[in-house]
Amino acid sequence: MPRSGAAARDRLERAALELYRERGYDQTTIAEIAARAGVTQRTFFRHFGDKREVLFHIELRQQRALAAALADVPAAAPPLTAVLLAFRSMAPGMEINRALAEARHHVIAATPALRERELAKAAALSIVVADALRGRGLPPWRATLLAEVSTAALGHAVHTWVADASADLDALIVRAFTELRAFADVTVPSA
């Protein structure tokens, strides 16, 4: 059993999510999480401040992965195409961790006190995208708008994927961005 370091942290995350799902978030103790992960409570507290922070940590990893993916898209790609490429590049990693995503989703849906996390998560991803879009030369207002709309579309793809074990996340992300082309047909007043 790993005693510390990244391997222990990963085990603690998985153990916590399993227990939150099995017993409910409120009913799970840190002692139980540590026991299932095969580490001491002291090791838990080396990695996480409390039960809630375990959920936060997964989100932080996703934010970092998204920022890295956005930075990796060549500067020549148009801004929204860069966002789509970055979102798609995250899909394989999320497919591998489907069980974690499912557990996290169920725990949050079943725990009213945690729902604010969903808001915070979407907001954090949106900020990462807006930063990248500004870095690609978009004016701030447009960058924030397109970031919020893009992450809303990503959220719809991810929710569909979490709810359907046979769904392909990458295909859903592509489908969402394809559907958004419909905005080109909206009649807007000429400036």
Task: Give the footprint of a second copy on this chain (CB under 8 A).
Answer: 78-81, 84, 112, 115-116, 118-119, 141-142, 144-146, 148-149, 151-153, 155-156, 160, 174, 176-189, 191
In whole angstroms, how close is the CB of 98 to a second copy at the nearest point? Answer: 20
DSSP state string for 9-67: HHHHHHHHHHHHHHH-TTT--HHHHHHHHTS-HHHHHHH-SSHHHHHHHHHHHHHHHHH
* Radius of gyration in angstroms for the set of CA atoms belonging to the chain, rounded to a whole number: 19
| Residue placing its CB nearer to a second copy in the complex, 16 or 79 | 79
| Residue placing its CB nearer to a second copy in the complex, 1 or 141 | 141
| Residue placing its CB nearer to a second copy in the complex, 35 or 80 | 80
| Residue placing its CB nearer to a second copy in the complex, 71 or 123 | 123
CA distances from 160 to 14, 74, 75 (A): 22, 29, 31
Tokens of 114: 């945690």
In whole angstroms, how close is the CB of 53 to a second copy at the nearest point? Answer: 16
In whole angstroms, how close is the CB of 89 to a second copy at the nearest point? Answer: 14
